[in-house]
Amino acid sequence: MTSLKSKSKQNPEKKTLTIVHLLHPYAKQRIRVGEKLGYFPKNMYRSSEIIDEVVLEIYEKGGHKSKDAEALRMAMFELLNAKMLSLFKSEAWHKDAISIKLILEEELKQLEENFTADAGNDLIMNEELDDISYHQNDTGIAELPYDASEEGVKLFLGLDQIKQFQETSDRTALRKVYYKLPVNTSNIVDLYILGKLSFHEIAVILQMEVSEVKEIVTFVRETIKNQLE
């Protein structure tokens, strides 16, 4: 989605700094998700430190010199995504890495049962959330980065077509929907909205077919729509 062709002739350091600026919103939000859902202790991870690791690895491999701006952007997002996925896995499951495609498939099977509404029209999880990891941040709904991104999430999930979300003054319901998404599904949302990546680029990073990414997005939209209308 973001073109860096005009910057492809920049010196390597300047080119890298330009791309690093694009990484921060995505990294910060993935950490927020981890903290909100109880995967990470609050303030345990910082986006700047994780991105520094990405830059260091790129520099050690000489990628900042050998790749053009677009290729470098993709390489850095791919490495950052891998690091975030690894953190979620190690903090939550403490087991060997498995395919993100398999994780997504398992999460999507459960998604239809993730949303319901109580008498006050508040979104709640259908299953009993007795695990302490789901309760340690119950004091409030964490914020998305900024209103522009929240609006993007609303449009991306098709919530603008649902009556209760057409009014944008109260963002609480939107945040509840977002933080009820499976981790790897919200990752696709964040790569698109905050990383400003296309479906094709997301598919490359997640090692999936473009059609699979689109099917997941469509499934999520339809599931949320059916549950909330």
75-90: pLDDT as tens digits: 999 999 999 999 998 8
Supply the pLDDT for residue 128.
35
Q: Are residues 88 and 156 in the same domain?
A: no
Find residue 116's DSSP bridge partners.
124
Cβ count within 10 A of residue 1:
13
User: What number is the average pLDDT over the span 170-188?
Assistant: 85
Q: Are residues 66 and 154 in the same domain?
A: no
More confident of the two residues 144 and 41: 41
The mean pLDDT value of the chain amounts to 77
65, 12 in Cβ contact below 8 A? yes
Domain that holds residue 66: 5-92
Supply the pLDDT for residue 23.
93
Domain boundary among 92, 123, 153: 92
Q: Are residues 214 and 107 in the same domain?
A: yes
Q: How far is CA 97 from CA 24, 89, 196, in A?
A: 25, 7, 26
Domain boundary among 92, 113, 132: 92
Q: Are residues 109 and 207 in the same domain?
A: yes
More confident of the two residues 132 and 184: 184
User: What number is the average pLDDT over the span 201-205?
Assistant: 96
Category of 144 on φ-ψ map: left (φ > 0), alpha (ψ -120 to 50) or beta: beta
* pTM of the predicted structure, to 2 decimals: 0.73
Find residue 117's DSSP bridge partners.
123
Find residue 123's DSSP bridge partners.
117
The pLDDT of residue 51 is above 50? yes
More confident of the two residues 170 and 138: 170
More confident of the two residues 139 and 108: 108
Supply the pLDDT for residue 126.
46
Supply the pLDDT for residue 53.
95
Q: Are residues 112 and 223 in the same domain?
A: yes
- The proportion of the chain whose per-residue pLDDT surpasses 90, expressed as a percent, equals 31
Supply the pLDDT for residue 127.
44
Q: How far is CA 127 from CA 109, 115, 119, 174, 223, in A?
A: 14, 9, 17, 20, 17
Category of 125 on φ-ψ map: left (φ > 0), alpha (ψ -120 to 50) or beta: beta
Q: Are residues 64 and 140 in the same domain?
A: no
Supply the pLDDT for residue 12.
61
